[in-house]
Amino acid sequence: MEKIVLGIFAHPDDAEILCAGTLSLLKKAGLSVHIATIASGDKGTAEYSREDISKIRKSEAAEAAKLLDATYHCLEFEDVYIMYDRDSINRTTSLIREIRPSVVFTHSPNDYMIDHEMTSKIVQTACFSTGIKNMDISEASFEPVPHLYYCDSMEAKDILGQPIYASMFVDITSEISIKENMLACHASQRNWLLTHHKMDEYILSMKRFGEQRGSEINAKYAEGFRQHLGHGYPQDNVLKEILGNFIVLAKK
């Protein structure tokens, strides 16, 4: 299998917030990078129409991906209405079969927003389905199942405020500038978050969380992950093999 990494998330800017530093390190390690969103970001606005904000946000996502020489894909579902159903699973499986990644990143199974949680479930099934011959899609099946990693939940907590612990950390101190530049491409979100979340520190909050995770491994900045280790999925930690000393495993 080719050295390809695919990050599949709910909305434009999720990848930049959650794993852009790690994607940058993987790019430097020789992997081709793809970033995909299930939805187009059509609800992330207080001023534009659905059609206009979708175009803006997909353009911003493509611009951010270019900073990694990466390819951006959108499956064109709607924000808030991401469902675990036949259509979403088939389209996501088709994308994975088209790209044939060896490593896939997605949302935490537990997060503050249902869109994120549904995306996590969709991607889990789509990865498992890469080798299922009789899926109702045209793209050819392939083996083995990609290595699947869950990114941190927002603020590393569940909806009841309980902490969600990472099982591994990636030291992204050397990549914080590219992560910041990629997130800055999503300029439309500053006004939206200011209006909806009353938050006017889009990039600063990302860096603060990176510092929080970094403090857990004596690094300036880090991103946290957990590997899907269920039956049928790879059991070896390919991220550790590729990134070596950038990876720090959590103490048990």
Question: One digit per residue, pLDDT tens: the chain, 252 residues?
Answer: 569 999 999 999 999 999 999 999 999 999 999 999 999 999 987 788 999 999 999 999 999 999 999 999 999 999 999 999 999 999 999 999 999 999 999 999 999 999 999 999 999 999 999 999 999 999 999 999 999 999 999 999 999 999 999 999 999 999 999 999 999 899 887 776 666 666 557 788 899 999 999 999 999 999 999 999 999 999 999 999 999 999 999 986
Which one-letter DSSP state was computed for residue 224?
E
CATH number at residue 212: 3.40.50.10320
H or E element in which residue 196 lies: helix 188-196
Helix (H) or strand (E) holding 226: strand 222-227
The pLDDT value given to residue 189:
79
- Rounded to the nearest 10 degrees, what angle do helices 86-99 and 114-128 cross at? 60
Two structure tokens written together for 159: 């909806």
- Say if strands 222-227 and 168-171 run parallel, antiparallel, or are unpaired: antiparallel
Of 31, 41, 42, 43, whose CA–CA distance to 7 is shortest? 31
Task: Count up the domains in the chain and report the number.
Answer: 1
**CB of 13 closer than 8 Å to CB of 157:** no
Domain that holds residue 148: 4-249
Helix (H, G, I), strand (E, B) or coil at 200: coil
